[in-house]
Amino acid sequence: MASPPDRGGRGVTSESFGALAGLRVVELGQLLAGPFCGQLLGDMGAEVIKVEPPGKGDPMRVWGQGEEKVQWEVIARNKRSVTCNLRVSEGQALARKLILSADVMIENFKPGTLEKWGLAPDDLLKEKPSLIIARMSGYGQYGPYSDRAGFGGIGEAMGGWRYIVGEPDRPPARMGISIGDTLCATYGCMGVLAALHHREKTGDGQVIDTALYEAVLQVMEGLVPEYDYNGFIRERSGSILPGIAPSNVYSCKDGPFMIGANNDAIFARLAQAMGRPELAEDERYATHLARGAHQTELDDLINDWTAGLTMDEVDALMIEYSIPAGRVYTARDMLADPHFAAREAIVEVETQTHGKVKMQNAFPKFSKTPSAIRRPAPATPGQDNAAVYGEVLGIDGTELDRMAVEGVV
């Protein structure tokens, strides 16, 4: 087993490192897509200044499950919070100065909103040609649907995700997380990184236009060409992928267990682990196509076997015979798992509001420029007004007090 590399990421550190150290990002927008893009960039070392509306701030502060809402602690980590009223002219002028001090601006407002506020990307680029602007929206910045309101779930539906998720005899289901928003944000982050490479070569910034439905569409594998070429429409198939067998969740005495043996050689090893080596020679199961044609009966056969064993017993056999398999984890399982611990996949962060909170670490892992959680999420909207507006824009405390009284910040 390879030894772990020397890396950061052990909770909060004040050190300034990461692949994007020295990069300043101004994050406009709220809820998920824009803020998750900011989280990704911040985890990789960027200085992220989050602009929130005065008062309650980003609605994400009170989102999440459980009695205490702690999702904010993840999505707002590695950020400093300033408040700015983008609906008044002085606030728009203030935001403009802040944006022009940055390398990157990210936003996820409805198309046309920035332009209405006097923050049109074309105008910003005239003042600062090296600026990179990442825009995330439901349908993109142009097209017949561009002025429609769009949330992640709508993008998942339009992009093809929702239709194929769930049981075949029930309505389309959702994944359980806001995958449309986070996919859009991830592609927005990828766009920023590519634009930074282009800027390094040319000095030019640019606008990145990422649509929720297109981010979902990108991960739809062969869904479109399968219909275009074969007239085939993918349907909901529950826990299986039709024709790919065996690859399913099976029932053990004490819980569900995932096994993926949809390869001739691996299936032969599974047959041995089951004490049924003859299955690998059975014409119903010997080949990929044959297993796909007899998928239901094969799953039933495997489930009858696992039902007589505990998860530990099945797990031991899967490891012995080198078969891809594993438990279906909850957060409780993750916190107890030695592999998560060894790779520091989950770290404990001392937050300003909730004390110590465990959360997913910064990914991916870099050997030279480790990502890290350098600062906890800001506890209150605008808690960094004095520091950011003072350091970055040179605005003194008296002027900030005036703007606060007048509702600008």
Task: State how far the Cα of 169 lies from the Cα of 162, in Å rounded to an integer.
Answer: 14
| 46 secondary structure, DSSP code | -
Task: State how far the Cα of 143 lies from the Cα of 158, in Å rounded to an integer.
Answer: 14
Q: Say which of 43, 58, 103, 181 is annotated catalytic.
A: 181
Q: 133 — phi, psi (to 5°)? A: -120, 115
For 175-285, where are the alpha helices, taking DSSP H only? Answer: 179-202, 212-218, 223-230, 264-273
181 in active site: yes
Whether residue 38 contacts residue 361, with contact meaning beta carbons closer than 8 Å, is answered with no
CA-based Rg of the chain, rounded to a whole angstrom?
25
> Which one, of 65, 113, 108, lies nearest residue 87 by Cα?
113
Output the six-digit token pair for 233: 């429409």
Interacting residues of 169 by C-beta distance below 8 A, sequence separation 6+: none
- Where on the phi/psi map is residue 394: left (φ > 0), alpha (ψ -120 to 50), or beta? left
Whether residue 13 contacts residue 48, with contact meaning beta carbons closer than 8 Å, is answered with no
Neighbouring C-beta atoms of residue 338, cutoff 10 Å: 7
How far is the first Cα of the chain from the last one, in angstroms, to the nearest whole number? Answer: 53
| 12 secondary structure, DSSP code | B
Amino acid occupying residue 127: E
Q: Annotated active-site positions, please?
A: 181
